[in-house]
Structure 1
């Protein structure tokens, strides 16, 4: 079955029987010509199958009737192939009739079905769709197309009949030619239809363009007409106004003259405008004009009229005020101005903006704008501000921190708002109006402020201290002071083992900063929220709390623990030296305290009645800390020198300075000296890291003096031969190097003199007089020189060489 569609035919039903007959004759004639063409010896088309013939007949019909749909059912065509050369094929006679069967229903549907009865062999039909699919491939490859066509024609068989293949190829070439002609015909038809549509579209477009041009011309004419009419209307209005204005002015002047005559007649007023209460506004406008006119007249001639008009003016003004309710009107105006005025997060900025926006309006509307502004401000303080305070300061007991912060913030911003409102001249010349308003709103909060401030500050300081000691795992002890208690602690420190807490100082600069910051905030709040007289007393109270928790509860407590941790007994092991860290941290805390006192506290109490008492409390506190630190340093240096004495006494032997072999070469220091120098150098490093400046020089000077006395006392305990004296010189030289690193001139000088004294033990007896006359010994007491000479083993023989003992 092979089908060709002509869709345009469906839109043109064939109801005419004559058209059917013509189609019948054309079909029979066309098929006859197809056979004749196919069997002609000169024909270029050689058909070898029913499929080829079917395709050819369908193609020729379609060329003549492209808009109709044909259905061919070619059953069979009997033909005979005569032996002809392989280059061509021809048909014999057709023994069967060609029967064309028309159906009435098919004629009405414009469909012709041609049936040819089959009498011989059936052969396979080929479809145009195969060519379309192959030809529409992208990209098209001619070689690939021929390969696929050959494969289809041979059925994929390896045995190929060349003549048969040639015949089939010729059939396919004919089919392709018919397909090409078919598409060319369709293209031509479509091009004609496209050109027709294009012409129709262009004609429509030109017609619409002309219509649009006509519409624009009419619109311009209409606009011109409207302008002409409006010009005439405006001109007519101007003429009417020029006529009406003089007439209205003349009528107004006439009315003024009539009413002025009433006042001039010295009779009661009889006009309805002045006697009818419902025409109060008209009478007010009239009396205002009459008052203005009367002011321009001569007072000598029209004084009576002027007085009557003035009285009537005051009367009408009073009636208007009563009619409109001035106070109620003022209240309503104030309330109306505050509607939607406080939409922002900051009511203070909203209030200032409202006043700035309202002031020009008040100056234009009200005769006394300051009074209205005062009313507006009063309403704000007793309304919105009071509501804000109640909201933010409601939870007092549960959150004192937020309460005090909010109170300080609200009060400071209120004062800033008051300063800004002063430029609006609120309440005129009454300078106490705004301060009184502030006091009325904040009074109950300011009265309770001192109590809450003290409570909050004490709780904060206690909390900071407790958290600090809990972090150290320390339970705070009660340390009492006094003569008996101090004596008891001294005896325990001398006889019992002391607790050093692992070297913990129990001092914290961070804790001190927190307490100082809390008190600083409290001083700022006190300065703002308290009256001047009360501020000084409150400042003293806050200062007492600062001294109590920073020094009494923290610094003094830590120093007392450190003092208790320093043993007063002669140490047999290296004593702890963490008291120097206590000195360093206490000094840092005191520096922070002194800075805050100068920057924040003293400016608040300067030239007040509490200045002297606060200064005295500060000095007493610092003197107390200084005394405790000095006591601790005294004990620490005693323990340090005590351990030096222990090292010297336990490690130094008499044989060190009186060896049996006097010819032994001495080049190094003794073991005792080595241990002492190592220990004393380490301690000096710790001291230098803990203190600086004058304090460092004072401590190192005291340490050097005690170290010198300890070494000197140790030297007096031995006698020395020449080899022992050389070892002593080596030891003293190491002590001197150690002391010179401290850069204390007095200590360095003492060890230089000690080295010169030790040299007396080395020189031969004959040179003793010369050695004693050395410049290094010029400042040394002669008795001390004599004592050193007596330490020589050969003292009895050596003194014979001395001129003066």
Structure 2
């Protein structure tokens, strides 16, 4: 079907789009009806009117077709809904029937179970008196042995049980019987004689056969003794005999794991509670040989450094922790922290004063590193008085009296060393590692915070802040008479490098130990405060450095620049003056140093400030000069 040159399909495609716009549709229809000719002189409104009418008819027809399609789809949906409702109703009926069947089966099962329980009670009521009668008969025979004279016991059946070493297991069972025990308690002397007899016989037999070989007889005796007090003697004998001649090497730690591996198999085969026996075996090694070795090693100490570094951390505690990790593969009860507790138990006497020893050791190390560095520079640290320098400089500039502070640049020495910073950070890193291993988990955050405070004091205050103070006092006054040499830029560069190293160590060594603790925020705040103090000093130093640079440029221009330099005798020939060349050369050197010392946005900020001050100085300076018509 054709409607004025338009087909119905494009209408459908256009109107079904999500981004359909009626305005765009009308514009497109008008453009097509006019053939793209939008010239006002040749415009024919009748053609456009006819196109709009035809478009309205086409849209009306499309609407009717779409409405019929929707009605058909709605009818299909209603039919599908009806079928689904019928199916759901059928499933509900089946579910009700299944539930009724389930209830019926449950009732039948309950009835059968009741009958079975009743039948079991009847059988038990018949069997229990018989078994009790048999046990009573056996008990009466054993009573006859205890109550009768010794010459009549040889004919009794129980005599072979209580006096035969090969039947000690049966005797132990009889001994632990509650009924028999109550009778033996009446005749305590005779019962004690029999009990001591078979216990001593069993223990003696077990010791002899264990030293010779392992057999089922040894295992049976161990099981028998587990019912009596002699079992602990059996375990102690095994532990003592197993360790005899086992520690022959100088390195005690190298013998412990192989010994435990050999004994584990024996313990599994012989004893009824292998986990408890293995636990006691390891505990005996720790509290015996290992602790004795620790006492010998610590008795030969001569200084705290040796105790902290060489012995406690490297040679003893670390190796003990590694030993505990190696022994964790053995089954020793349900406590996963048993070996850690055992390790801390034998080291508790030496770990209690650890933090005080560590803090003194770290302070001494940091002080030694700093003193060694300053001694190599032949420098003695000074005590500075803060404030007053700027006021003295201004008063000295306004008056003819020289009251400005003496500037001492120490030959360009910044008294900052990345090597010193690395040594301090390395010492503190080792201290953090020792603290993580040797401190109690509950005391670890506070201990790490104290060590970090020592690091901040040594590195930031004693080294970096001191160097910044020296750098500030080495900056020339704002109106120098000679070309100023600015060393403060080197100080800023080294401070930035050292602070990056400090930040890296904090993230790698300190922060993981303080996560989710109040000490983490406290350490961050201390580091932030020291950083802000250093930034204030660096800002002050940079401002003074720029003032010195611009002051020298201003003084040089006033002293050496002639007012006729920009109005030469020959108008066509204007050369750069010597003063300008000197200023440009000096500023170029300063700019290169700034770019080398600073990074990021700091370079742009300092160069912008330098440019603004230089522009102001040049602008004020050139206003006092005469110029040629072709002058710059």
TM-score bracket for this pair, using the shorter chain length? 0.5 to 0.7
Q: Is 1:318 aligned with 2:199? A: yes
Match of 1:207 in 2: none
Match of 2:270 in 1: 365
Q: Is 1:334 aligned with 2:215? A: no
Match of 2:371 in 1: 466
CA distance in 1, matches of 2:269, 2:395: 91
Report the structure number with the largest CA radius of gyration. Answer: 1
Q: 1:649 to 1:358 in 2, by over 3 A?
A: same
Q: Is 1:707 aligned with 2:614? A: yes
8 Å CA contact retained: 1:637, 1:703:
yes
**In the TM superposition, what whole-angstrom CA distance separates every residue of 1:671-690 from its partner, at most 9, and x where no partner exists?**
11111111111111122221
CA distance in 2, matches of 1:490, 1:590: 34
8 Å CA contact retained: 2:436, 2:444:
yes
Match of 1:592 in 2: 501
SS at match of 2:303: coil
Could you tell me which runs of 5 or more consecutive residues in structure 1 were left unpaired when the two chains were aligned: 1-260, 293-303, 730-805
**In the TM superposition, what whole-angstrom CA distance separates every residue of 1:162-214 from its partner, at most 9, and x where no partner exists?**
xxxxxxxxxxxxxxxxxxxxxxxxxxxxxxxxxxxxxxxxxxxxxxxxxxxxx
Match of 1:270 in 2: 154
Match of 1:614 in 2: 523
CA distance in 1, matches of 2:444, 2:263: 38
SS at match of 1:393: helix
Match of 2:331 in 1: 425
Q: Is 1:413 aligned with 2:324? A: no
Q: Is 1:573 aligned with 2:482? A: yes
What TM-score, normalized by structure 2, do the two folds share?
A: 0.64
SS at match of 2:565: helix
8 Å CA contact retained: 2:308, 2:358:
no
CA distance in 1, matches of 2:473, 2:326: 61
Higher relative contact order (CA 8 A, sep 6+): 2
Q: 1:286 to 1:606 in 2, by over 3 A?
A: closer
**In the TM superposition, what whole-angstrom CA distance separates every residue of 1:348-391 from its partner, at most 9, and x where no partner exists?**
34212211111111122223333332332122112222123223
CA distance in 1, matches of 2:419, 2:194: 78
What TM-score, normalized by structure 1, do the two folds share?
A: 0.51
Q: 1:589 to 1:444 in 2, by over 3 A?
A: same
**In the TM superposition, what whole-angstrom CA distance separates every residue of 1:199-235 from its partner, at most 9, and x where no partner exists?**
xxxxxxxxxxxxxxxxxxxxxxxxxxxxxxxxxxxxx
Q: 1:678 to 1:486 in 2, by over 3 A?
A: closer
8 Å CA contact retained: 2:304, 2:357:
no
Match of 1:356 in 2: 261
Match of 2:595 among 688, 699, 721: 688
Q: 1:471 to 1:335 in 2, by over 3 A?
A: same
8 Å CA contact retained: 2:550, 2:617:
yes
CA distance in 2, matches of 1:701, 1:491: 29
CA distance in 2, matches of 1:599, 1:606: 12
Match of 1:439 in 2: 344
Match of 1:602 in 2: 511
Match of 2:93 in 1: none
Q: Offset of 1:423 from its aligned partner?
A: 3.3
Q: Is 1:376 aligned with 2:260? A: no
Q: Is 1:535 aligned with 2:444? A: yes
Q: Is 1:698 aligned with 2:608? A: no
CA distance in 1, matches of 2:403, 2:155: 120
Q: Offset of 1:605 from its aligned partner?
A: 1.3
Match of 1:560 among 469, 473, 476: 469
Q: Is 1:639 aligned with 2:521? A: no
Q: Offset of 1:585 from its aligned partner?
A: 0.5
CA distance in 1, matches of 2:196, 2:297: 51
SS at match of 1:553: helix
CA distance in 2, matches of 1:550, 1:593: 9
8 Å CA contact retained: 2:393, 2:405:
no
Q: Offset of 1:524 from its aligned partner?
A: 1.4
Q: 1:432 to 1:321 in 2, by over 3 A?
A: farther
Q: Offset of 1:321 from its aligned partner?
A: 4.6
Q: 1:317 to 1:420 in 2, by over 3 A?
A: farther
**In the TM superposition, what whole-angstrom CA distance separates every residue of 1:604-660 from its partner, at most 9, and x where no partner exists?**
11211212211110100111111111110101111111111122222210121233x
Q: 1:668 to 1:397 in 2, by over 3 A?
A: farther
How many positions carry a matched residue from both structures? 444
Correspondence list, 1:615-764, <5 A: 615-659=524-568, 661=569, 663-722=570-629, 725-726=630-631, 729=632
Q: 1:370 to 1:564 in 2, by over 3 A?
A: same
Q: Offset of 1:276 from its aligned partner?
A: 9.3
Match of 1:524 among 433, 436, 459: 433
Q: 1:496 to 1:451 in 2, by over 3 A?
A: closer
Q: Offset of 1:721 from its aligned partner?
A: 2.7
Match of 1:393 in 2: 298
CA distance in 2, matches of 1:701, 1:556: 26
Higher helix proportion (structure 1 or 2):
2
Match of 2:166 in 1: 285
SS at match of 2:267: helix
